[in-house]
Chains A and B, each alone.
Chain A
């Protein structure tokens, strides 16, 4: 009997739901120092710290990102994107990997902001501020998603060398912990996390993000939006 069709074989179809993860990268929480115990935070986070990139943020393949009027530069957050292949609802770490179809490269551009307490959604939800590589690398082709090198270049120059190792929650743990309260569906993309020292992208600058075993995402030169008429 032929196997039942599933979403975890190519071609992949993304659902458009993109969930970002904060403070997962080694050093990201440490960079806040003792402040994590003081108001407004009061205590270090217990659950994954997440945000959404709504559909207006998603770039078509090859579409240039946009810098909002009055914003000189945006933070270029490169992340491993975990592509869900089967519904993940309250799965444990072992079950989590069965729900992962593969991986892709995601760039989350956001307006720089220091506040992690209650930042305005306007920092993260700007039009044309999220690029997803059109290619999904199947899970089986990636030996260890928690040990991949990530290289960010702006106009050809290496501006950041980071990786997926040492996360507070590695891939399986993150999927499991998120699935405790959000059912992840086929085609959803969950970002593993962004390194704390992410570079800035200005108008006219092009970028590329390379993730070991996955390939490279090319971001065309960013375009500055004009002031509203």
Chain B
């Protein structure tokens, strides 16, 4: 099953896919553009992986002092970063490189504490697509990746659908890609993860209890490029969904007449 959370006509609704767009739980059928898409579940702790695809690690190797062979590079993102499908992310003024990252997001469905990799998948509720933005200009070597580079407003885009785990027999058998203004800029496959989903759940639950709604962003393959205000970024994972985000410059957030 696929479910979405959307705002429509004054309330937040759960919705399912429909040939004409989506169907709200109360029966109303709407087109995709008629609703405001929220992240398809209420996220708890947002755990993200850096350098979890070998090719991406190589791509960034020149500026790194660690390798992907070390303990997985785990960082956290705050709720201010959350955004749904068809949302608008602010690109800060004066930065040289802001890039998307197409990632498979694993949503926890049952509490997980010290779970072995053999049992790990029982704790997964489902999957969605994440676009995990980064502003590289703001990367500093203090508690890296620092929150100013990654934990920015609108920098964790999730959706459109939460796909039940039962409908995804092999989460490591999915092709993924990103299109910027319709042109493919990133391609990869979830089979190329350095640390697999069961390994990540075993590792994380070994030192922190995971709860329903917590989400693990499993990292991105090579092919990240700078994106600019006005660009439409589509992050897509086969069988999971196509997540659309648009970048806007500061003028969209701070109209000059209000300055």
Task: Kindly list chain A residues whose C-beta atoms are within 8 Å of the C-beta of B138.
Answer: 47, 181
A interface footprint on B234-259 (CB within 8 Å = 1, 0 otherwise) = 00000000000000000000100000
- The answer on a CB contact under 8 Å between B142 and A41 is yes
Nearest CB of chain A from residue B138's CB, rounded to whole Å: 7
Stretch with Cβ within 8 A of A (4 or more), from B3-11, B71-79, B174-182:
B71-79
B interface footprint on A41-55 (CB within 8 Å = 1, 0 otherwise) = 111011111111011
Task: Kindly list chain A residues whose C-beta atoms are within 8 Å of the C-beta of B206.
Answer: 228
* Interface of chain A, main secondary structure: loop
B interface footprint on A139-155 (CB within 8 Å = 1, 0 otherwise) = 00000000000000000
Task: Kindly list chain A residues whose C-beta atoms are within 8 Å of the C-beta of B153.
Answer: 89, 181-183
Task: Kindly list chain B residues whose C-beta atoms are within 8 Å of the C-beta of A81.
Answer: none
Which one, B81, B146, B152, contacts A49 given CB within 8 A? Answer: B146
Task: Kindly list chain B residues whose C-beta atoms are within 8 Å of the C-beta of A57.
Answer: 208
A169 contacts partner chain B, Cβ-Cβ < 8 Å: no
A interface footprint on B206-229 (CB within 8 Å = 1, 0 otherwise) = 111111000000000000000000
* Interface of chain B, main secondary structure: loop
B140 contacts partner chain A, Cβ-Cβ < 8 Å: yes
- The answer on a CB contact under 8 Å between A17 and B78 is yes
B17 contacts partner chain A, Cβ-Cβ < 8 Å: no
Task: Kindly list chain A residues whose C-beta atoms are within 8 Å of the C-beta of B144.
Answer: 117-118
B151 contacts partner chain A, Cβ-Cβ < 8 Å: yes
Given contacts A52-B76, A55-B44, is CB(A119)–CB(B208) below 8 Å? no
A135 contacts partner chain B, Cβ-Cβ < 8 Å: no
- The answer on a CB contact under 8 Å between A40 and B141 is yes
- The answer on a CB contact under 8 Å between A46 and B80 is no
User: How big is the B interface, by class?
Assistant: 35 or more
Stretch with Cβ within 8 A of B (4 or more), from A99-107, A121-129, A157-165:
A121-129
Given contacts A40-B65, A122-B207, is CB(A50)–CB(B147) below 8 Å? yes
User: How big is the A interface, by class?
Assistant: 35 or more
Q: Complex Cα distance A49/B149, Å?
A: 11
Residue of A nearest to B65 (CB): A40
B143-157 with Cβ < 8 A to chain A? 143-144, 146-148, 151-153
**A-B pairs with lowest CB-CB distance, top 8:** A54-B45, A50-B147, A52-B76, A122-B207, A49-B142, A121-B74, A47-B148, A45-B142
- B interface residue numbers (CB < 8 A to A): 44-45, 47, 65-66, 71, 73-81, 92, 113-114, 138, 140-144, 146-148, 151-153, 206-211, 254
- A interface residue numbers (CB < 8 A to B): 15, 17, 19, 22-23, 39-43, 45-52, 54-57, 68, 89-90, 116-122, 125-127, 180-185, 228
Give 18 CB contacts A-B under 8 Å. A15-B79, A22-B142, A41-B141, A43-B141, A45-B142, A50-B147, A50-B148, A50-B151, A54-B45, A55-B211, A57-B208, A122-B208, A181-B138, A181-B147, A182-B153, A183-B80, A185-B79, A228-B114
